[in-house]
Chains A and B, each alone.
Chain A
Amino acid sequence: MGEMEQMKKEAEALKTQIEAARKAAHDTDMASAASGVAPAPRVQLKTRRTLKGHLAKIYAMHWCTDNRLMVSASQDGKLLIWDSHTGNKVNAVPLKSSWVMTCAYAPSGNLVASGGLDNMCTVYNLKTPVIKTVKELDAHTGYLSCARFLSDTEVLTASGDTTCALWDLETGKQKTVFLNHVGDCMCLSLSPDMNSFVSGACDSLAKLWDIRDGQCKQTFLGHTSDINAISFYPGGNAIITGSDDCTCKMYDLRADQELITYQDAALNSGVTSLALSMSGRLIFAGYDDFNCNIWDSLKGEKVGVLSGHDNRVSCTGVPPDGMCVCTGSWDSFLKIWN
């Protein structure tokens, strides 16, 4: 008992020290820094495509690096590969487990991955004459909430078992386990330089990790509920998070603290997903209230809304060339807007 009390005291003292150091770095705020920036124009995007094909709730989508193909995952037990230009389905991958929560496209375009309540990440090769399962990555002891390819040989996963992991696709084994969260990991985002990633979890924390040494480098506080969505800012110096506490936040990596909260008194639905426009200026955040709100990331103001889904917006994605935004919903449709 004595030892635990001792550790708690020391932890509290360190938290106070860190808080003081953050305050010392807080010599101004983002509102002042952005005061000279012209407001973003009112953003009015039109639905250009409605992709119909899934028979149940869509849980995830991810763009291919070619800016044209995308993969979506639904609890109808399928991954669908779409040609977003024509609106046609290019491939359908039947899943062994229909309880899918995430999907990912490899940067090469050769592979896709899915995972969910089966606790596994399954990798498929799209380029063989018949789509084949390449590997089943099986070691997590909780659901798979997010997966991202670093290449055709490495995958990063986030899990309800509170860990993230880096996998070697040739051996099918975990190379590194990232353990520091104390709640289910819900999302992850790779840094532009691919040397680090950030994770968001049900412990309300976002953490920055070094991929190669496996260490947690920084922890970001502020949210008061599960962080469901997270994304690196394109420049690599900030991250955006979305939470069940109905807000999104920007955290500055170098100042090690929260810079802005994106919130509105009228908004009392959790944030399920988010994506950034190519410059980072616009945040597309999907909410439980069936809308996707568009935020000016520098000014903190709402500048538009994407309405059109008849159920929760569960996933959003902007392709690398920034030419559109895709929203996916529990209403079983994907929409492409620009």
Chain B
Amino acid sequence: MARDMSDNDILKMELEQLQKEVKNTREPVSKTAKEICEWVEAQAAEDPLIKGVPEDKNPFKEKGGCIIT
């Protein structure tokens, strides 16, 4: 736990992590952001909270009203 660690140990841990992360590859935002948009747009058509839930298919529609038997 970071609480039990000395300032020296915490600094060492942070340094080791930075040494690892500096090696990460990073893809250009032009590619990654475009793919995020495309994925979301493809799914959004079927997203119930965007397209709305028809009253007769809504399991959460308000209860109440009378049933005539």
User: Which residues on A are within 8 Å of B, measured CB to CB?
Assistant: 3-4, 7-8, 10-11, 14-15, 17-18, 21-22, 24-30, 33-34, 36-37, 40-41, 43, 45, 48-49, 68, 84-85, 87, 141-142, 161-163, 179-183, 215-219, 233-235, 237-238, 252, 254-257, 259, 277-282, 297-298, 318, 321-325, 336, 338
A32 CA to B58 CA in the complex, in Å? 36
A27 touching B28 by the CB < 8 A rule? Answer: yes
User: Nearest A residue to B61 by beta-carbon distance?
Assistant: A48
Q: Pick the contact of B60 from A24, A84, A255 — CB < 8 Å?
A: A84
User: Nearest A residue to B53 by beta-carbon distance?
Assistant: A338
- A sample of 9 cross-chain residue pairs with beta-carbon separation below 8 angstroms, ordered by A number, consists of A8-B11, A21-B22, A22-B26, A41-B50, A45-B49, A279-B40, A282-B47, A298-B40, A323-B58
A162 touching B2 by the CB < 8 A rule? Answer: yes
CB contacts between A and B, total, < 8 Å? 185
Distance from A97 Cβ to chain B, minimum over Cβ atoms (Å): 21
User: Which residues on B are within 8 Å of A, measured CB to CB?
Assistant: 1-3, 7-8, 10-15, 17-22, 24, 26-37, 39-41, 43-44, 46-50, 53, 58-63
Distance from B51 Cβ to chain A, minimum over Cβ atoms (Å): 9
Distance from A279 Cβ to chain B, minimum over Cβ atoms (Å): 3
A163 touching B1 by the CB < 8 A rule? Answer: yes
B3 touching A161 by the CB < 8 A rule? Answer: yes
Interface centre among B21, B40, B47 (most CB of A within 10 A): B40
A219 touching B21 by the CB < 8 A rule? Answer: yes
Q: Pick the contact of B48 from A18, A254, A338 — CB < 8 Å?
A: A338
B2 touching A179 by the CB < 8 A rule? Answer: yes
Contact of A322 with B11 at beta-carbon distance under 8 Å, contacts A25-B27, A27-B28, A254-B27 already known? no
